[in-house]
Homo-oligomer: A and B are copies of this chain.
Amino acid sequence: MDNINKQLAEYARMIEEALPGYLPRCPDPESLVAEAMRYSLLGGGKRIRGALLLAFYRLFSEDVRPALPYAAAVEMMHASSLIHDDLPCMDDDDMRRGKPSCHIAHGEATALLAGDALIILAFETMSDARYAGAFPCGRALEAVRCLAASTGCNGMIGGQIIDLNQEGKPTPAPLLERMYARKTGALIAVSARIGCILGGAGDAAIEAAVSYSAKIGLAFQIIDDILDITGDQSKLGKPIGSDRENGKTTYASIHGVEASRRQVEQLNAQAKMDLAAMEKDTSFLAGLADLLAGRQY
């Protein structure tokens, strides 16, 4: 696992270093929005989405640097969703990653606009000829389309509305799985997809990559659910039992902890089978699946 952790940290470092270069420079008072974007985009998170994009791209090309703007774009989209999710009219969360959430630090209107601007910046970065020029044009355009298709009503935003709409009422298992697949799974899966598209992968490889990442994304969610029941508050850095307290249906509350653990194992095994079908050196990605599935639960 040490090698996996090291490689993951290396991808995260590359992304973290590249991100500031994509942020807009603007005069006052437009800089208020740019500052709020910077606040939420930089200095936090494991950069799993961007790292997945780079790792899949690397299956097709040794030098991952041309794919960095696209890894940055999926991180921008992720940061935007967190800013808007934390707003008072949504989850109304005052804290995020151990610091005040964007609207607490920068005000509600500025946070709203910063979230909008991060969505827009993701697309601007992906279509910028300085970056897109490294690829055949059709790949860059398809990357744009895929990111959009996976984050709208039938993707990430769809997942957010399911989550909001189910507040305070029990959620049937199929709807819960769709919520997981859309709210967090879609952006994780499209990160893998874009890495493959940029690398020039064929359809079969793309489908395997998407299947792998959808599975590790779902496993990650289920582990979160389990940890909310069995976890160690001091290690998690957040209160235990909050799902139950909030009357929230989770995978673990429907199926129980034991069956949920088995499901994580099964998803992990299936994800690694997806990788094997790609017939590439996918050892990092297999290790990443184990790493994510192996979180203390």
Contact B129 A142 (CB under 8 A): yes
Q: Which single member of B87, B126, B151 contacts A112 (CB below 8 Å)?
A: B87
When each residue 76-88 of chain A gets 1 if its CB lies under 8 Å from chain B and 0 otherwise, what string results? 0000100010011
Q: Compute how far the CA of A148 lies from the CA of B118 in the bound complex, rounded to whole angstroms.
A: 10
A132 within 8 A of B: yes
Q: Compute how far the CA of A190 lies from the CA of B162 in the bound complex, rounded to whole angstroms.
A: 35
- Contact A154 to B24, CB < 8 A, known contacts A145-B127, A145-B129: yes
Copies of chain A in the complex:
2
When each residue 145-185 of chain A gets 1 if its CB lies under 8 Å from chain B and 0 otherwise, what string results? 10111011110011011101100000000000010001000
The count of residues in chain A whose C-beta lies closer than 8 Å to any C-beta of chain B is: 56
Chain B residue with minimal CB distance to A121?
Answer: B152
Which chain B residues lie closer than 8 Å to A56 at the CB level? none
Which chain B residues lie closer than 8 Å to A137 at the CB level? 137-138, 141
A257 within 8 A of B: no
A59 within 8 A of B: no
Query: Footprint of B on A, CB under 8 Å?
Result: 24, 26-27, 29-30, 32-34, 37, 80, 84, 87-90, 108-110, 112-113, 115-117, 119-121, 123-124, 126-129, 132, 137-138, 140-142, 144-145, 147-149, 151-154, 157-158, 160-162, 164-165, 178, 182
Give 8 CB contacts A-B under 8 Å: A26-B158, A27-B178, A33-B161, A84-B116, A121-B148, A123-B144, A127-B144, A144-B144
Q: A30-B161, A124-B148 are in contact. List 5 more A-B contacts (CB 8 A).
A: A26-B158, A32-B161, A124-B152, A129-B142, A137-B138
